[in-house]
Chain A
Amino acid sequence: MRDLNLARSADDRERFPVVIGDAGARDPVVTLTSLTKRYGDLVAVDELSFSLRPGTVTGFFGANGAGKTTTLRLLLGLAEPTSGEALVFGHRYRELDDPARRVGAVLESSDFHPGRSGRDHLRTLALAAEIPSTRVEEVLALVELAAAAHRRVQAYSLGMRQRLGLAGALLGNPQLLVLDEPANGLDPAGVHWLRRFLRDFAAQGRTVLVSSHMLAEAAQTVDDVVIIDHGRHVASGRLHELTGGERTLEDVYLGLTGGAA
């Protein structure tokens, strides 16, 4: 048991966030503040601000080209914002110590060398993150790829690639999972499995940010919703507050983004 030392270091505050009152007051896992990304004249992400509550699944919705993937890339340190900031656990991603143990992410379903086996792909990540190889076998079993792990990724179906990507994100047993369109290519059983997996993940107090354009499916999984259009924040909040218990998420989305409602 840690003794009650009032002069806690910044590092300790980070590792053991102060909980004041109810769980809603905990430090946000992800905080975007006026996040902006311009490519020449094109504003891909425009003054976007939102935060994620721990222990929730947040659905991140928008049309193709609305800026979802760019936002996730900015959040994960793969791209630099033009202005504003994106913080994960209070830090810029690239300044996190041991990021694989805090954040797991899948941005593309096909980010594998076709000639490398699924197991070796995970091992290269595990070595870089100093994660024991026993954990590689654990995540392979978790996503039900153990039997195919010795095969090269070129022989994998899209669904298998999705699960291999997820296995890579889970290697470090992270507190935050960021997934870009994870249901693409999954069969109905795979979608069902993913939904249960994400619910269980959040039920352990961990957090999920999942982008999607499959609204009906996502509505069954998410607690919170962030909707963007042309890089701008359109709406966010708890799913049941947005839908009022009457309308579907699809109605809400189409009404807000100017589609036919």
Chain B
Amino acid sequence: MTAELRSELLKQRSTRTGLGLFAGLLGLVLVAMLLHAYALPARILDSTSTQLMVFGRGGFLAILFAALLGALSITSEIRYGTIRSTFLVSPRRGRVIVAKVWASMLVGAAFGLAASALAAGVGTAALRARGIDVQLSGGDYALLIAGGAAAAGLWAAIGVGLGAVLRNQVPTLIGICAWLLFVEGLLAGDIAALGDVGRYLPGAAAAAISVQNADTLLSPVVGLVLLVIYATVAVLAGLLATARRDVA
């Protein structure tokens, strides 16, 4: 298992994919923070809940990029055919998938940590520069950053599971983007008939971990447990899908 994990970590390091995603993530976080902090009216930015929501955009972007990273760890092997040599060396396919999950969770958590910290840092500085009082406590910051790391790590695992089930790279990546950027928002907010089902969806559960909105989200602990369940189900589905299916 550690052998497969070392191999997976080297796979992550030895192409520019991870670094490219990381640079893209930090760039987007920076833009998002500056846009929010300077474009929103000062009276809205004044409240604690708005500040949490704005700083939470870092964690949200991190779960998206972590999921893409996790999905790519398996779909790019299928796309480029390296899955063949991977399974020849490690024919116990479950170990490969589990190693991909741990490696992606590690890198994904780093994504979450860096993006949340950058969002909190830049957001705070920008608000102060506008003369807006930042009302967050040390505990709020700690939860934003630690929660962002945990949520992104778990979403990376969801990405691996999804990639192992769908296998085809483009539909997998589009599916993840569509879900997080569009579908979940629709289900959670725009379709009133669904009631409060929205807060139990995986993206909302991720946001709940770092209390991005105490009014509409679950508590951090419930969000964490729920996201762990989502990630476990995704990984189990990925393991099942990989175990018996033929490799082209």
Residues of A whose CB lies within 8 Å of any CB of B are 73, 76-80, 93-96, 99-100, 103, 105, 107-108, 110-117, 120-121, 123-125, 127-130, 168
Contact = CB atoms under 8 A, between A and B. Distances in A.
Interface stretch (B32-40, B86-94, B137-145, B184-192): B86-94
A110 B10 CA distance: 20
Interface stretch (B44-52, B76-84, B159-167, B224-232): B76-84
Contact of B7 (A79, A110, A125): A125
B87 A77 contact: yes
- By Cβ-Cβ distance, the 7 closest A-B pairs, closest first, are A111-B81, A128-B7, A120-B14, A79-B246, A127-B7, A94-B91, A78-B247
B184 to A, nearest CB: 31
8 contacts: A77-B87, A99-B88, A111-B85, A113-B76, A113-B80, A116-B11, A124-B14, A128-B90
Contacts of A77: 87-88, 91
Nearest to B247: A78
A73 B86 CA distance: 14
A127 B3 contact: yes
Contact of B10 (A127, A129, A168): A127
A94 B92 contact: yes
Contact of B14 (A110, A114, A116): A116
A120 B10 CA distance: 8
Nearest to B81: A111
Contacts of B14: 116-117, 120-121, 123-124
B3 A129 contact: yes
For the residues of B in contact with A, the DSSP-based class is: helix
Contact of A110 (B6, B15, B16, B81): B81
Given A95-B91, A128-B89, 14 more contacts: A73-B247, A78-B246, A78-B247, A94-B92, A99-B91, A100-B88, A110-B81, A112-B81, A113-B11, A113-B15, A113-B82, A114-B80, A115-B16, A125-B85
Most chain B CB within 10 A, of A76, A77, A123, A124, is at A124
Nearest to A115: B15
A73 B3 contact: no
Contacts of A114: 80
B214 to A, nearest CB: 43
Nearest to B99: A128
A217 to B, nearest CB: 25
A76 B3 CA distance: 21
B15 A116 contact: yes
A76 B81 contact: no
A108 B7 contact: no
Contacts of B87: 77-78
B43 interface: no
Contacts of A120: 10, 14
A153 to B, nearest CB: 9
Contact of B88 (A95, A105, A116, A130): A105
